Amino acid sequence: MKTVVILVNPKYGGNLGAIARNMMNFDVEELRIVGTPEILDDEAYIRAVHAKNILNNAKFYSKLEDAISDIDFTVATTGAVCGDRNVNRVPITPRELAKKHSSISGTLGIVFGREDDGLKNEDVELCDILVSVPTSNKYPILNLSHAVSVILYEIYFESFSEDIPYDLNMKNASVDEKNALLRFFNEFVDRSKDVPDYRKDICKTIFKRIVGRAFISGKEANSLICVFKDKCPK
C-alpha cells in the first residue's frame, strides 16, 4: 500500500523540512499540503537536508476534501484523545494502523493538523479512522514532526518480516548456530581441569543465559565457536 502524508495548514517551515526528511527516512514520497507554497521557506529546505525533492514535489490544496479525494483510506491523527463519548475521537494506535496497512491495498493518506491545535472535528469526520500516539499524561502533545516520525516508523517497520531488517549481510544467530556454540562451550567446560566438577553445570547455565539475552549474530556465534572448539584447556 502506498502512503501519502497530508498536512493541514502547517505554520512552520522547519516542521515541513523535518517531515520531508522523516518521509524519506521511512520510504514515503508524496507530500500534500492544505495551504500555499509560501510555507516552504529557507528553514524548510535546511531541515529537509537530503529530502529537498519531497518539498519540491509537494502538492498544494485549498481544502482537505480536495487533498484526499483520490485517497483510498484516510487516517486522521490526533494528540487530543477525548474519550468514547465522542465517537469521532476513538483512536487506534500507530501499531494497529501499521497492521491494518499491511493488509489493505491502494493509497493510505495520513492527515496531520496544525502545530497549535491539531485537526478540527470536521477534518476528522472526512477521514476513515483516527490514530493517536500513546503518550504520557504529563505532556501528551508531540511536536508535529515527531508524531510523523513515530507513525511512519511503525508502518515502515511492519513491512519487514525478518527480525532485524537492516540491509546488510548480517543475521541473527539461528537456533542451530546458538546450540552449536553452547555444545562447544559445554564440551570445553567438561574438558577443563580448572573448573571443579561441581561448578561445571552452573557455568554452562550462565553461558546459555548470556547467549540467550545477547541477541547474538550468526557471525558472532561462529567466532565464539572457534574459541572453544577442540581447545585443550589447562
100 binds its own copies (CB under 8 A): yes
64 and 101 Cβ atoms separated by less than 8 Å: no
**Alpha-carbon distance 17 to 44, whole Å?**
4
Among 10, 91, 113, 118, binds its own copies (CB under 8 A): 91
Task: Report if residue 219 touches its own copies, rule: CB under 8 A.
Answer: yes
Cβ distance 132 to 81 under 8 Å? yes
Q: Using CB under 8 A, which of 7, 9, 26, 35 touches its own copies?
A: 26
Q: Rounded to 5 degrees, what angle do the CA atoms 119, 122, 125 make?
A: 95
- Tell me: does residue 215 bind its own copies (CB under 8 A): yes
Among 62, 121, 164, 227, binds its own copies (CB under 8 A): 164
The answer to the question of residue 197 lying near its own copies (CB under 8 A) is no
Angle between helix axes 94-103 and 144-158 (nearest 10 degrees) is 40
> Rule CB under 8 A: which residues touch its own copies?
18, 21-22, 24-27, 47, 50-51, 81-85, 87, 90-93, 95-96, 100, 129, 132-143, 145-146, 149-150, 153, 156-157, 160, 163-171, 213-215, 217-220, 223
